[in-house]
Amino acid sequence: MSKINIEPSCVFSPQPMYLIGTKDEEGIPNFCIITWIGFSFDKTPHLMMTMGGSKQTKTNILRDKMFSANLVSEDIIWLADYFGTAGTEEKRKSKVAYDYEWGNALKVPVLEQSKWVYECEVTKIIELDGSHLFLSDIKNIQIDKAFEGIDLEMIDLKKLNTAIYAPYNYFSIGERIGSCGEWKNHLVND
């Protein structure tokens, strides 16, 4: 396979989207969409999130040190699009109706429509050049009751209908192509 080199860019990052839930100084819920999220483990599970620029959500996290990360599925993609394009410092995003409740472990807003939600407490903030990297303990995971008993080692993203962001476009998850360890069925020569 022949390859070419291109300039590194923050734009190409196909990945799941999360609606980050916080509350403002008056306790009013605020959500914004973030895709720069990863996970790690250090005795407990952690969520790592980078947030750039000026956002009310970032202001809230810097103040309260907690947030919810609500996985975006295909059925709430347009709500996510609204939260992602309604202005970076708009205090109250109220043009679209949505339902929320407060987290079970932390006082963070959780979208009723999200099928998979992390309640996170920030343990470390690393200030970058124009961005902040938040390292957070996952204090609770809420999942839709329809997934009760789900095998956490074999999560079917198609059933979650996870939406994927790739530069300025939204995609759905395609078909499952295999499981870990199946390489022997596909690469070993007999």
Residue 182 pLDDT level (bands cut at 50, 70, 90) = confident
Task: Please give the pLDDT value at position 92.
Answer: 66
Q: CB of 118 within 8 A of CB of 103?
A: no
Handedness of CA 10, 60, 24, 109 (dihedral sign): positive
Beta bridge partners of 120: 67, 138
> Mean pLDDT throughout 81-103?
79
Nearest in space to 57 (alpha carbons), one of 77, 86, 78, 79: 86
Single pTM value for the model: 0.89
Q: pLDDT over 70 for what percent of the chain?
A: 93
Task: Please give the pLDDT value at position 185.
Answer: 86
Task: Please give the pLDDT value at position 75.
Answer: 93
> Mean pLDDT throughout 111-121?
97
Q: CB of 55 within 8 A of CB of 67?
A: no
pLDDT(184) > 90: no
Task: Please give the pLDDT value at position 153.
Answer: 79
Give pLDDT tens digits for 43-89: 899 999 999 988 899 999 999 999 999 999 999 999 999 988 876 55
Total H helices, total E strands in the chain? 4, 12
Task: Please give the pLDDT value at position 11.
Answer: 67
Domains by residue range for the chain, with CATH: 15-145+152-187 (2.30.110.10)
Residue 96 pLDDT level (bands cut at 50, 70, 90) = confident
Give pLDDT tens digits for 2-58: 998 888 876 677 899 999 999 999 999 999 999 999 999 988 999 999 999 888 999
